Structure 1
Amino acid sequence: MLLLGGVAVLVLTVALALRESDSSATAPLPGAGRSAPLGTPDDSTTGTPQSQAATRTVTADALYATGPQQTVGCREAPVPLSKQSNVKAYYTNLVACLSKAWAPKVEAAKETFTPPQLVFWDGVAQTPCAAGATVSFYCGTSGTLYLKYTDDIKLWSRSPDAANRAFTRMWATYTAGHEYAHHVQQLTGILTAARQLQYDAPDEDARLELSRRLELQASCLSAVFTGANQISYGITGLDLTIYKNYVQAQTGDENNRGGPRDHGGRASHQYWTGRGFTTLDSVSCNTFTATAGKVS
Structure 2
Amino acid sequence: MPPPPAPPQPGPPPGWTPNQAVPPYGPRSPYGYAPNWRPPKRKSSAAAVIGGLTGVLAFVFVAIVVASAVLKSAQRHDPVSPIALPTSTFDPTSKPSTSKPKSRPTGKDSTSDKPAVTLNRGLKNNTVYRAGSLAQPNCPAGNASIYNHAQFKTLILKTGKCMGQAWAPALKRVGIEWRPPGYMIAQRRGRGACGDYPSPGSNVPYYCPSNSTIYASTSAMAEEYGPLSSWNGVIISMMGHEYGHHVQHLTGISESWWRRYQESSSRSGQLALTRRHELQATCFGAMFMRAVSRSYPVTVARRDTLLWAYGHLGDPPGGPRDHGSTRSNARWFRQGYTRPKAYQCNTWVMGSSYVS
- What is the CA-CA distance between 1:108 and the residue it aligns to? 2.4
Contact 1:219 1:273 in 2 (8 A): yes
Matched, 1:187 2:256: no
Alignment of 1:270 with 2:330, yes or no, is: yes
Asked whether the equivalents of residues 220 and 277 of structure 1 are also in contact (C-alpha less than 8 Å), the reply is yes
Matched with 2:286 is 223
Give the match's secondary structure for 2:123: helix
Q: TM-score, normalised by structure 2?
A: 0.67
**SS of 1:280 mapped into structure 2:** coil
Does the 8 A contact of 1:268 with 1:294 survive in 2? yes
Q: Which residue of 2 aligns with 1:209?
A: 272
Distance 1:116 1:179 in 2: 10
CA contact (8 A) 1:166 1:242 kept: no
Candidates 303, 307, 320, aligned match of 1:260: 320
> Aligned-pair distance for 1:241?
2.4
1:13 aligns with 2:22: yes
List alignment gaps of at least 5 residues for structure 2.
Answer: 1-10, 38-52, 58-87, 90-119
Secondary structure at the residue paired with 2:294?
Answer: helix
279 and 13 in structure 1: CA distance in 2 versus 1, 3 angstrom threshold: closer
- Please list the CA deviations of residues 103-128 of structure 1 after superposition, one character each: whole Å capped at 9, or x if unmatched: 11222232211110000125554333
- Native 8 Å contact 1:109 1:188 kept in 2: no
- The one-character-per-residue Cα deviations of 1:201-241 (angstroms, maximum 9, x if unpaired) are 12111110110000000000000111122121111144222
Match of 1:150 among 219, 233, 243: 219
Identify which of structures 1 and 2 has the higher relative contact order when contacts are C-alpha pairs closer than 8 Å and 6+ apart: 1
**Separation in 2, partners of 1:249, 1:20:** 21
The equivalent position to 1:97 in structure 2, one of 134, 152, 162, is 162
1:240 aligns with 2:240: no
Q: 1:4 to 1:241 in 2, by over 3 A?
A: same
**CA contact under 8 A between 1:88 and 1:149: conserved in structure 2?**
yes
Give the corresponding residue for 1:120: 185
Instruction: Measure, in 2, the Cα distance between the counterparts of 1:232 and 1:17.
Output: 30
1:273–1:13: structure 2 CA closer, same or farther, 3 Å change rule? Answer: closer
- Distance of aligned partners of 1:198 and 1:238 in 2 relative to their CA distance in 1, 3 Å threshold: same
Contact 2:207/2:242, CA 8 A, preserved across alignment: yes
- Alignment root-mean-square deviation, CA: 3.1
Q: Are the counterparts in 2 of residues 116 and 183 from structure 1 also a CA contact under 8 Å?
A: yes
For 1:5 and 1:86, locate their aligned partners in 2 and report how far apart those are by CA, in whole Å.
Answer: 22
Paired with 2:261 and 2:299, the residues of 1 have a C-alpha distance of 40
- Report if the CA contact (8 A) 1:87-1:152 is conserved: no
Q: Aligned partner of 1:67: which letter?
A: G
Which structure's residues are more often helix, by fraction? Answer: 1
Residue 251 of structure 1 is matched in structure 2 by 313
Match of 2:241 among 178, 184, 187: 178
Aligned to 1:25: 33
Corresponding residue SS for 1:199: helix
Q: State percent identity of aligned pairs.
A: 25
Deviations 1:149-199 (A, max 9, x none): 11233246x46xxxx3235x0221111100000000001111111110101
The aligned amino acid for 2:229 is: R
* Structure 2 counterparts to residues 133-144 of structure 1, below 5 A: 133-134=199-200, 135-144=204-213
Relative to the length of structure 1, the TM-score reads: 0.80
Aligned mates of 2:18, 2:135 — CA distance in 1: 32
Kept after mapping to 2: 8 A contact 1:77/1:89: no
Q: Indicate if the aligned counterparts of 1:194 and 1:210 stay in contact, CA closer than 8 A.
A: yes
Q: Is the 8 A contact 1:77 1:93 kept in 2?
A: no
SS in structure 1 of the partner of residue 184 of structure 2: strand
Shift of 1:259: 2.1
Query: Per-residue deviation at 1:249?
Result: 1.1
Judge conservation of contact 2:137–2:162 (CA < 8 Å) in 1: yes
1:285 to 345, 348, 351: 345
Residue in structure 2 matched with residue 165 of structure 1 by the alignment: 229
Counterpart of 2:306 in 1: which secondary structure? Answer: helix
Q: CA offset at residue 74 of structure 1? A: 1.9
Please give the secondary structure, in 1, of the residue aligned with 2:216. strand
Measured in 2, the distance between the counterparts of 1:66 and 1:8 equals: 43
CA contact (8 A) 1:20 1:175 kept: no
Number of matched residues? 265
In the alignment, what sits opposite 1:64? 129
